[in-house]
């Protein structure tokens, strides 16, 4: 620690000048960008440090389903105009098993809907809002390190164009994703982690084809799970469960489409429009939670603190609810000189996080083929799905979690 501090001081003497801000945010993903805009709306100065270029960040094809709470936060920062205009509002979702499809009417069950709008678009809208507000984002900042967050004078150092700089701040927000530096800067004795690794991955493709159905289709099939989703009325996103050690080059487009058709009901398979993939990737599935989400004057938010399998479409939405709680806590700190909000941040955020972790784990458990899904386990999955589509109470329970629990 002492050697690292000396190195940092030496580098600063040789290198660049120091910046000062109220909140230094590490990471310009959805969590960091949304937090930056919320803080700006509340009059709190912030600087974002991002390791990648803007194009790289915008090129990552990830989430695509927004809860109403997430859209409301985009509204709050004036970045929801395009999501409201171009996003597809879904009132329901379809579950397919035993060769038949069953619609769950979430709007009827909860009064709420979800919006299909890609993470890349959310990120672009937030980036545009940030530059329109003239806020500082330092892209291609390497060797980013949070320091002294257990004191009243936290700092973040980084290297830009070969020169070391430092940001002095009141607080650090670690919004730097699962592999970021914030969580790994915390002493292992101060953090507890919980993890479940699933024995399969999701092979996903994006194609310029109309979606097979106007709502999402989640399928439980003997060959494995599949999901039909979309980004717009002319761009589809499809997934099939695959072995963890599969490689993309083993999955030419034709093989992917054939496999997807196998898993769909006859009507969907007949209606599926195929075409060349414009993106193809394999994602491992994992549940992970780090506790607590606050370490002195550093907070973790989004994937930096937790990961969920994408089955429940909760990752991006959890990042949004975290920064909602955090921005409110920081606003209270600056406006009302009260630390109650930031003191309660970790507990409040984790209560919602664990419910989403539970929901995503459960959705994963009932829809996928595990190594032991045969005989008894397969019958239990079927019974659970059958109960879900035939019981009003079960339908409401699924729906209220799917559309997003209240903040």
**Residues in contact with ligand FAD by the rule CB under 6 A:** 26-32, 49-52, 57, 62-64, 119, 141, 144, 175-177, 180-181, 281, 283, 302-304, 310, 313-316, 319
Spot the catalytic one: 30, 154, 211, 310.
Answer: 310
Burial class of residue 141, CB neighbours in 10 A (0-12, 13-18, 19+): buried
Minimum Å gap between C-beta 9 and ligand FAD is 21
3-state secondary structure of 373: coil
Task: Give the angle subtended at the CA of 64 by the CAs of 208 and 204, to the nearest 5°.
Answer: 55
- Within a 13 Å sphere around the CA of 37, how many CA atoms are in the beta-carbon half? 27
Residue 218 annotated in active site: yes
Spot the catalytic one: 218, 238, 333, 345.
Answer: 218
Nearer to ligand FAD, 216 or 366 (CB): 216
Residue 90 annotated in active site: yes
Burial class of residue 309, CB neighbours in 10 A (0-12, 13-18, 19+): buried
Minimum Å gap between C-beta 337 and ligand FAD is 29
Listed residue (133, 122, 154, 119) closest to 43, CA to CA: 133
Measured between alpha carbons, how far is residue 306 from residues 242, 357, 398 in Å? 23, 9, 22
CB 160 within 8 A of CB 138: yes
First to last CA, the chain: 38
Nearer to ligand FAD, 98 or 243 (CB): 243
Spot the catalytic one: 90, 165, 221, 348.
Answer: 90
Angle between helix axes 340-367 and 392-402 (nearest 10 degrees) is 130
Minimum Å gap between C-beta 93 and ligand FAD is 14
Rounded distance between C-alpha atoms, residue 126 and residue 139, angstroms: 15
- DSSP class per residue in 286-297: EEEEEE-SEETT
Minimum Å gap between C-beta 184 and ligand FAD is 9
Listed residue (347, 382, 389) closest to 367, CA to CA: 382
3-state secondary structure of 238: strand
Nearer to ligand FAD, 84 or 143 (CB): 143
Minimum Å gap between C-beta 268 and ligand FAD is 20
Spot the catalytic one: 165, 314, 324, 328.
Answer: 314
Minimum Å gap between C-beta 387 and ligand FAD is 25
Nearer to ligand FAD, 144 or 388 (CB): 144
Nearer to ligand FAD, 358 or 382 (CB): 358
Nearer to ligand FAD, 27 or 224 (CB): 27
Q: Could you give the residue numbers annotated as active site?
A: 90, 218, 310, 314, 402
């Amino acid at each position: 620690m002492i050697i690292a501090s000396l190195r940092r001081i030496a580098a600063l003497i040789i290198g660049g000048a120091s910046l000062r801000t109220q909140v230094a945010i590490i990471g310009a993903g959805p969590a960091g960008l949304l937090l930056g805009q919320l803080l700006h709306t509340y009059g709190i100065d912030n600087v974002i440090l991002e390791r990648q270029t803007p194009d790289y960040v915008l090129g990552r094809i990830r989430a695509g389903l927004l809860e109403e709470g997430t859209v409301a936060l985009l509204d709050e920062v004036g970045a929801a105009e395009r999501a409201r205009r171009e996003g597809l509002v879904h009132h329901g979702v379809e579950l397919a098993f035993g060769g038949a499809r069953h619609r769950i009417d979430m709007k009827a069950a909860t009064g709420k809907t979800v919006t299909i709008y890609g993470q890349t678009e959310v990120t672009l809208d937030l980036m545009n809002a940030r530059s329109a507000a003239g806020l500082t984002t330092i892209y291609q900042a390497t060797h980013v390190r949070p320091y002294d967050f257990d004191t009243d004078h936290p700092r973040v150092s980084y290297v830009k164009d070969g020169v070391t700089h430092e940001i002095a701040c009141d607080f650090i927000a670690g919004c730097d994703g699962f592999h970021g530096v914030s969580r790994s800067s915390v002493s292992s004795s101060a953090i507890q982690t919980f993890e479940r690794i699933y024995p399969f991955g999701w092979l996903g493709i994006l194609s310029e084809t109309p979606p097979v159905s106007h709502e999402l289709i989640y399928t439980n099939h003997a060959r494995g799970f599949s999901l039909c989703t979309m980004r717009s009325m002319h761009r589809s996103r499809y997934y099939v469960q695959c072995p963890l050690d599969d490689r993309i080059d083993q999955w030419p487009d034709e093989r992917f489409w054939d496999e997807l058709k196998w898993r769909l009901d006859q009507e969907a398979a007949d209606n599926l429009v195929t075409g060349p993939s414009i993106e193809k990737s394999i994602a491992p599935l994992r549940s992970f939670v780090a506790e607590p989400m606050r370490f002195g004057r550093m907070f973790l938010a989004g994937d930096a603190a937790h990961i969920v399998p994408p089955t429940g479409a909760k990752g991006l939405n959890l990042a949004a609810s975290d920064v909602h709680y955090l921005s409110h806590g920081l606003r209270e700190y600056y406006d009302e000189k009260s630390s109650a909000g930031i003191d309660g941040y970790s507990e409040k955020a984790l209560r919602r996080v664990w419910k989403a972790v539970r929901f995503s784990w459960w959705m994963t458990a009932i829809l996928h083929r595990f190594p032991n899904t045969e005989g008894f386990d397969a019958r239990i999955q079927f019974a659970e799905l059958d109960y879900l589509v035939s019981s009003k109470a079960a339908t409401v329970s699924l729906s209220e979690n799917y559309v997003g629990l209240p903040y």
